[in-house]
Amino acid sequence: MTRSLTCAAVQMRSTTDVATNRDAFETLVRAAASKGAGYVQTPEMTGLIQKNRAALMESIFAQDDDPIVSSAGRLSKELSVWLHVGSTPIDRGDGKVANRAFLFAPDGTLRVSYDKIHMFDVDLDNGESWRESAIYEPGDRAVTADIGKACLGLAICYDVRFPDIFRRQALAGAEILTTPAAFTRQTGEAHWHVLLRARAVENGAFVVSAAQGGTHEDGRETYGHSMIIDPWGRILAEKDDDEPGVIIAEIDLEQVAEARGKIPNLKNIRPFNLVDAQ
């Protein structure tokens, strides 16, 4: 019997105002559900994009009080969907912030959360410098979750450059890998497509990646191009711009076993030692 799931990726252009972002989030999630999606993913920093530390700290909430978290729980139950908030900033109460993803079940319960592990601490050619570790506390655990028809692996944005997370999730049974993101325009134009397709191919898994896109109120530019990719690396759906909106694709989960049967690299892994030949 064919196992299929209709997946949606919500592309946003989040602002520095949480209420505005919550309204946009709810509108786009409803649009995705109306198209028949059973799993809906939103991008990294769904609830707030604010690079000024002081302004960020004044605008965020603890998890139990966060408007996006409470809205997601209510919407998932109302719409009867698996709702994956790609991430939103959460006040940890210790002076640091968590870049935290949330997965809600169709009954409205929080199934799992995930804190971004890898911090985007880089200096780009165009003069952009980012130091996420100055504000955010990295997570220390990778996460998978059973969503009924499939096993889902959670990751966020910069994590996509660290293949070990996805390999370990695939070995644990993940059939859908996720990388909701707020990729910069420069790095997105260079690497977005190739990184996402590589994670799909090397793990024989679907990849769903909802993205931020466009010029944001805090001045940053993000790439957009939300995508859904199959285990053979084919792009099933792409938001081919940086505008807010929804993409959707029905995925046949039997293709995971087919791809892994054709290229059984997960089974062919062998231990090895690295030798310094100097």
Residue 271: inside a domain: no
pLDDT reported for residue 155: 98
pLDDT reported for residue 38: 98
Q: What is the pLDDT of residues 181-234, one digit of tens each?
A: 999 999 999 999 999 999 999 999 999 999 999 999 988 999 999 999 999 999
Q: Is 44 labeled as catalytic in the residue annotation?
A: yes
- Indicate the pairing of strand 39-41 with strand 82-91: parallel
Residue scoring higher pLDDT (3 or 250): 250
User: Which residue in the list 132, 151, 157, 221 is annotated as catalytic?
Assistant: 157
Q: Is 26 labeled as catalytic in the residue annotation?
A: no
Residue 269: inside a domain: no
Q: What 3 state SS string does the chain have?
A: CCCEEEEEEEEECCCCCHHHHHHHHHHHHHHHHHCCCCEEECCCCCCCCCCCHHHHHHHCECHHHCHHHHHHHHHHHHHCCEEEEEEEEEECCCCCEEEEEEEECCCCCEEEEEECCCCCEEECCCCCEEEHHHCECCCCCCEEEECCCCEEEECCHHHHHCHHHHHHHHHCCCCEEECCECCEHHHHHHHHHHHHHHHHHHHCCEEEECEEEEECCCCCEEECCCEEECCCCCEEEECCCCCCEEEEEEEECHHHHHHHHHCCCCCCCCCCCCCCCC
Which range marks the domain in which residue 61 is found? 4-262
Compute the average pLDDT of residues 65-86. 98
pLDDT reported for residue 126: 64
Q: What is the pLDDT of residues 79-127, one digit of tens each?
A: 999 999 999 999 999 988 999 999 999 999 999 999 999 977 667 666 6
pLDDT reported for residue 129: 62
Residue 272: inside a domain: no
> Total structural domains in the chain?
1
pLDDT reported for residue 88: 98
Residue 277: inside a domain: no
pLDDT reported for residue 161: 96
Q: Is 151 labeled as catalytic in the residue annotation?
A: no
* Beta carbons of 157 and 182 less than 8 angstroms apart: yes
Residue 207 phi/psi, 5° resolution? -125, 130
Residue 240: inside a domain: yes
Please give the mean pLDDT across all residues of the chain: 95
User: Which residue in the list 44, 132, 175, 221 is annotated as catalytic?
Assistant: 44
Give the percent of the chain with pLDDT over 70: 96
State pTM to two decimals.
0.95
pLDDT reported for residue 193: 98
pLDDT reported for residue 1: 56
pLDDT reported for residue 138: 94
The CATH number of the domain where 172 resides is what? 3.60.110.10
